[in-house]
Chains A and B, each alone.
Chain A
């Protein structure tokens, strides 16, 4: 999959201009390097203090910014984020299925985080990175860094889906970035007539939040069972099998949602938003009332534009200790966008992984900037998924580094009989509270 040219031009638009876009596109093709910072005016000129710039105020970026300041107050931190608020993807399936009145429990802002830790917020679009000049180009001008952290999340690769264009998500929402897309999917479910067909299209791995689609299947089924019992939910999964917590999700589908839900192998290859048809490579067409098409994913646009992705233009290879890019020096990448050297299972692309990685990265950025030795990674992933309105199951991992590669030292899921599922539902809520508090204070 190559970078979508139309999006790419749009991404690089604004102050930086087409000259840069052309240059970057050429560079992106060869998989190499730098974009010239061009003529954009410099903002926030760097004083004598060393500076880390963080791009992206999500699960990874907020934590990197905060922990760098906690560990070394002499380092200036600028956090670039286009939105004034952040809406959490984890738990957004509850909102989509009508089990949360609104998105307030999922939403944080940056005011307290910035004030408590002396982080300088820049609400702007980061459009390009000049790795040679150590400059980030934003919609408001360019700014200098000593080290850069890129935590861009994901963007979509839609070339493999015939008929999918920029407007498609407005009819067939992905709801794989929380916010307006979640609201749209919820509204479509609520306004559809009883008896309609809902389709969830799951992309091939790797994608953000492996258990997410299957949790969504459970919670949308819960909604349909209660409010629209004549309706059907079909999951078209491009993967050969359920990719996360298989036994647990399968049990939920068989025990609770048999009359509503069907799981089918099949990759979405074509969409027709006018005729409301979804076509899969299992040779079936589906006439849909609601289609939640989750396209294949890659690192967020800025990472691709900056040449931080590997030769497949998909994920950003990084060192397993410092999270420094193996392509560009002094640039570190976090979260969903990363490709980590691993021995055995990879770190899942989850919010908890991004949180844990950001701390490892912060410790080692501070070490590197102070000419101290770096410290090996020790990280955790813990992830709760709902299987019904009142029950959740979890998966947990512990990660260490052995010979420069990430190794899982423990990995396990909840017991298969749902004996602790009600407790885990409550634990999941406490997790959300803690992790969002950590990101916003």
Chain B
């Protein structure tokens, strides 16, 4: 890194002296920063990871562990995906960490969506009784690699739950224990609750 910087300084000096160098030499520069790597994700996940599309999750305020863990699973194929696995293969683990650094520092993205209030109310009780040990603070925070659920788009949450139930996405053991006894209506109520939290 230090060496690269000095190379850059020298080159910059050379540029000032020689107009022809300007046209031919590429700008020497530092390796990609967390911003450089993560800004590119916003085309699908929204500016600073705040999603406006209801099938794309917000990445803003997810913990670094959550992001790195998800990207590694996409890359290895352990987590099934459409485009994410293909994209993840183009990045290194240190890129994933850079993404984690960036998105964990962004503010929670509050969404305004149509929520069934009765379902959300029922969901709040279910969250407290079943999920709150990992999905902390009404889903605004997550323990370790537990993702932030608050304000995620309902269609996204419903799609992921469906994938969990069909086995397409592997449920963590602790989650499976809690989900198994719940009815479909109860799970739906939970998702309405998370989507409503701001």
Contacts and interface: CB of A to CB of B under 8 A. Distances in A.
Interface of A: 66-67, 319-322, 324, 326-327, 329, 341, 352, 355-356, 359-360, 363-364, 373-380, 382, 394, 396-400, 404-405, 408-412, 414, 420, 423-424, 426-427, 429-435, 437-438, 441
B53 A434 contact: yes
Interface in B84-129: 86-91, 95
Given A375-B36, A378-B37, A427-B83, A437 B43 contact: no
Contact of B47 (A399, A404, A438): A438
A322 B12 CA distance: 14
A364 B40 contact: no
Given A397-B90, A434-B43, A438-B43, A378 B26 contact: no
Interface string B38-49: 011111111100
16 contacts: A320-B26, A324-B27, A326-B24, A360-B39, A364-B29, A374-B8, A375-B33, A396-B87, A398-B87, A409-B90, A410-B88, A429-B55, A431-B43, A431-B53, A435-B44, A438-B52
Contact of A378 (B32, B43, B82): B32
Given A364-B27, A398-B91, 6 more contacts: A373-B8, A376-B30, A382-B87, A411-B90, A423-B82, A433-B53
B36 A363 contact: yes
Q: Which 9 A-B pairs have the closest CB atoms?
A: A398-B90, A410-B90, A430-B53, A404-B26, A374-B29, A437-B52, A412-B86, A409-B90, A433-B53
Nearest to B80: A420
Interface string B42-78: 1111110001111110000000000000000000000
B150 to A, nearest CB: 19
Q: How many B residues are at the interface, by size bracket?
A: 35 or more
B52 A433 contact: yes
B31 interface: yes
A434 B55 CA distance: 10
Contacts of B91: 398, 409-410
Contacts of A394: 82-83
Nearest to A326: B23
Contact of B44 (A397, A410, A430): A430
B41 A376 contact: no
Nearest to B8: A373
Contacts of A404: 25-26, 28
A429 B87 CA distance: 19
Contacts of B40: 356, 359, 378-380
Given A380-B40, A396-B87, A434 B31 contact: no
A308 to B, nearest CB: 13
A424 B33 CA distance: 30
Contact of B87 (A376, A410, A430): A410
A329 B22 contact: yes
Given A356-B40, A427-B55, A434-B44, A375 B32 contact: yes
A28 B27 CA distance: 26
B144 interface: no
Contact of B45 (A67, A364, A420, A434): A434
B83 A374 contact: no
Nearest to A431: B44
Contacts of B23: 326-327
Contact of A321 (B29, B37, B42, B45): B29
B82 to A, nearest CB: 5
Contacts of A423: 82
A373 B45 CA distance: 28
Nearest to A360: B36
B35 interface: yes
B198 to A, nearest CB: 18
Contacts of B42: 355, 359, 434, 438
A396 B87 CA distance: 7
A223 B17 CA distance: 61
